A and B are shown apart, each in its own frame.
Chain A
């Protein structure tokens, strides 16, 4: 993957994908970028936001644009693990047990409102997200390539939700926050959604398939070849280890946080068209990568600080690479 043309192709495909989102999703450019970076980095994404901010639409856009086989699983309190990964069932014709694969066997799995399901069901994704495989009745089955989980969740303050366990959160490369659109964006969205439209269906007809699964895999490969200097690696380690020593953080990010930050920084560089990673790439991806991996102390929590505030302050104290 040293060919500049392949890298440029990956960068161009990524930009096309980015542009195609804009035809359907109004505004939210930062959220779109973080989502794409996460996918290119080969990670899973957790999108958090209040209802009605196009979380599910973003996930569906990605699946459509990349022509990936996708499935949407609506997480509910009564959803069972076997409903996701699959189960063995008795076949009367053959008089044998056959495995029925669950909806998780797809390129893009949209886990909608993942925090509506209890921890038991959420944990069904653990093996799949980390190992890219699932075990059914003792048999290990490999998941398709480009297996990406795009989970959405409402803020945990809302009624009827279960906070994701820390082990589960750690599996997500990025936690992307989606905020309310600006006034101008909301007006554009209002006009485009309601124009010659029945109800408020998500119209994905304007979305073009600009890439495919293979191209997505190529992008992931290109990102993995982005150069990372030792100074930048040291910078990443400094930031992540600082989360473990920061006084306002109860539990800091683990080594998986380091790896995730490096992968995300590489993907960010690819999106910027750089074949190397700079401290700026690291800095840009620190928030989405670390915000769900740290746990604030109760006093900071009570005082109203968010993980984003703490990570920002933390980065401001870590010296950038020099010399």
Chain B
């Protein structure tokens, strides 16, 4: 329990605006220390992030520095938490306290809660109350139940910060017109960041830093006072404070009175808590008035008098009164049943309207079901219609495989002795067959000798090209001659002279015979 007697801010019910104002007052009172505390962490980080400019774009460095803002604000919180209760804390102690909480800070405000708008208000819950992770949520929801204006505070401070930053940059421009003469100010917002001159980037960095430094003490203090204000309201610090004062005054007059007042104050405090802490300032005024009267009479109230005093307070308007508050909540089943029963008692016109709506809904329901059935039927029909396409895997337009001498249709099923078979064909006036045997035999010979493969669809030009790439010069020339005569015979329908064919057989024997694969023995037509 905080020692509320030492509060430097008068504990009394305040609106959020008043709490923010009180925070600003607190910040003004300790501005120098707060500023130094903020600079203590922010300057090293600023220097570090500024050096990152060598690796990152300038706006990234600003972003990194901006992300660590909660780290700079944490020492301020510890300082303010002591200063609020009129305790002196050195800057070193505040920094040390903050340093010990860096781990917790990393898990909260430097990561998942960095973008929280209620950051400064919730600092107290995390770092002063030391609430666990599970406790934070309910605690914050209790604190945030009233209008705390933290978002307004955030936006206001943000705008002021930006204003100061821009003013700082403009101030630089005003004081150093020579530097900025080359830069058209109107281009500031139009030009891309990459086009900014160096001095402008530096001034933006400087202005951002300066603005954040100037605003941070106010922002942290205001947030902290918002937190304290909610605690004052929830825990009735103001009432306790009043009674403590009464008790202190009474202790000056005697221990009897002191004990009596202490007892009565404790009772009242419990009663106050039970009554949802709704004591207003008027009650306090009444209470003060009674106390003053007692003091003026300068009489020592006995036990009965104390009881009367308590009863008097309890019977005042602020106690025993009823206050109705409405909260939205989700409907449960009982409520729906209740509504249905209420609807049963509706007027006939409403019933008619409800019936017609129900009929339309039923119609739509039927239409919807029909549409679903039609869709399924259409899908089935489409699948049936294109069943062949679906079943048959699409033939991939892959390239046909190459084949070697043992498998290629051109070179299989050739006689063992090609030259002999060619001569026999020539003797039977089948010069086309003779040339075909020589052509395919030569191809098989080269394919076998050089372990070459060709496509099934290879034409004469393809074969010639393939042979040329691997065969000897003599083989190449011989094969070309062979192809030329083969084409004349096969495609020009020109019978080649017998002597030419015989010469080709001789040439073939010398060039390809020894290399021919003799495994095949079945002659082809």
Contact = CB atoms under 8 A, between A and B. Distances in A.
Interface of A: 227-229, 231-232, 246-248, 274-280, 283, 297, 299-300, 305, 309-310, 313, 315-323
Contact of A232 (B394, B395, B456, B491): B491
Given A276-B487, A280-B462, A320-B459, 18 more contacts: A227-B491, A227-B492, A229-B490, A232-B491, A247-B392, A248-B397, A276-B492, A278-B461, A305-B397, A315-B457, A316-B399, A316-B455, A320-B457, A320-B460, A321-B490, A322-B410, A323-B433, A323-B436
Nearest to A282: B459
Contacts of A278: 459-461, 487, 491
A322 B409 contact: yes
Interface in B441-497: 455-462, 487-488, 490-494
Contacts of A297: 394
Contact of B409 (A283, A300, A319): A319
A276 B436 contact: no
11 contacts: A275-B492, A276-B493, A276-B494, A278-B487, A283-B461, A313-B400, A315-B457, A317-B457, A319-B409, A322-B410, A322-B436
B132 interface: no
Bin chain B's interface residue count: 20 to 34
A311 to B, nearest CB: 10
B410 A313 contact: no
A229 B491 contact: yes
A70 to B, nearest CB: 35
A247 B395 contact: yes
B482 to A, nearest CB: 14
**9 tightest A-B contacts by CB?**
A276-B492, A247-B395, A313-B397, A280-B461, A279-B459, A316-B400, A320-B459, A229-B491, A276-B491
Contact of A300 (B397, B455, B490): B397
A316 B457 contact: yes
B394 A247 contact: yes
B460 A279 contact: yes
Interface string B389-420: 00010110111100000000110000000000
B99 interface: no
A323 B524 contact: yes
A29 B403 CA distance: 33
B440 interface: yes
Contact of A320 (B399, B458, B492): B458
Contacts of A246: 395
Chain B at the A interface: SS class: loop
A309 B397 contact: yes
B382 interface: no
A26 to B, nearest CB: 27
A232 B492 CA distance: 11
A319 B488 CA distance: 20
Residue of A274, A279, A309 with highest tally of chain B CB at under 10 A: A279
B459 A283 contact: yes
Nearest to A246: B395
Contacts of A321: 490
Nearest to A299: B394
B525 interface: yes
Contact of B457 (A247, A299, A300, A319): A319
Contacts of A274: 492
A21 to B, nearest CB: 24
A266 to B, nearest CB: 12
Contacts of B398: 313
A277 B397 contact: no
Interface in B493-507: 493-494
A305 B398 CA distance: 12
Contacts of A275: 492
Nearest to B393: A247
A231 B488 CA distance: 13
A4 B399 CA distance: 41
A229 B461 CA distance: 17
Contacts of A313: 397-400
B460 A280 contact: yes
